Chains A and B, each alone.
Chain A
Amino acid sequence: AQKITQTQPGMFVQEKEAVTLDCTYDTSDPSYGLFWYKQPSSGEMIFLIYQGSYDQQNATEGRYSLNFQKARKSANLVISASQLGDSAMYFCAMREGLRWTTDSWGKLQFGAGTQVVVTP
């Protein structure tokens, strides 16, 4: 069963506008971590932001913030003030387990991704 769902295959956003990328997840493990990655056309996956399941506050990293709604099992990424360089594929991912002792440490389950195109 799909554990990470990204319902928006693609979207256009104007430069300087904010954009929200949707992500819902499914797990029965109370301990998990949620990640967002960006993949430009070059192929490299770039880490953007992380939210742990027990974190009380929504994570923020510069222009990126994560809208974490635990009861709804959603972890939407918000990019504020979009830039042309933000054009890329964006992936939501989940790790089940929070501690190094989990044998899932290196195993992230990814969604299908959302292609974002920023226009001038």
Chain B
Amino acid sequence: KAGVTQTPRYLIKTRGQQVTLSCSPISGHRSVSWYQQTPGQGLQFLFEYFSETQRNKGNFPGRFSGRQFSNSRSEMNVSTLELGDSALYLCASSSDRENTGELFFGEGSRLTVL
């Protein structure tokens, strides 16, 4: 069974640009969550999608947005990039049929903003 796949793995952008990150969840998983990881703030929850609907959102500005498609694949977008957006962005999928519902993470997309 393939794991969570995130693309691209690495990218470099400049301030003011926008970026789109993609996440393909494990087959059969309908919940996709996004996290930002930085040395200063640690792991912070961005948002969760289920059946193309945002279920929950973390405390991030409106420049951070996401969406989910009918095949459960998800994208997140960051507009008007700032230096502080440099981070590892992790996507995770989980099953709504498992008792524990552990999150399975991808390897992340490492964004550098110059």
Residues of A at the B interface (CB closer than 8 Å) are 33, 35, 37, 42-47, 50, 52, 91, 93, 95, 100, 103-113
Chain B positions within 8 Å of A107 at CB level = 33, 45, 48, 56, 58
Please give the distance in Å from B21's CB to the nearest CB on chain A: 14
Q: How many residues of B contact A (CB 8 A)?
A: 29
Q: CB within 8 Å of A: which residues of B?
A: 31-33, 42-43, 45, 48-50, 55-56, 58, 88, 90, 92, 94, 96-97, 99-108, 110
Tell me whether chain B's interface is mostly helix, strand or loop, or mixed.
Answer: strand
A109 to B49, CA, bound (A): 17
Q: Report chain B residues within 8 Å CB of A103.
A: 55-56
Q: Is the CB of B100 within 8 A of A52?
A: yes
Smallest beta-carbon distance A86→chain B, Å = 18
Q: Is the CB of A106 within 8 A of B31?
A: yes
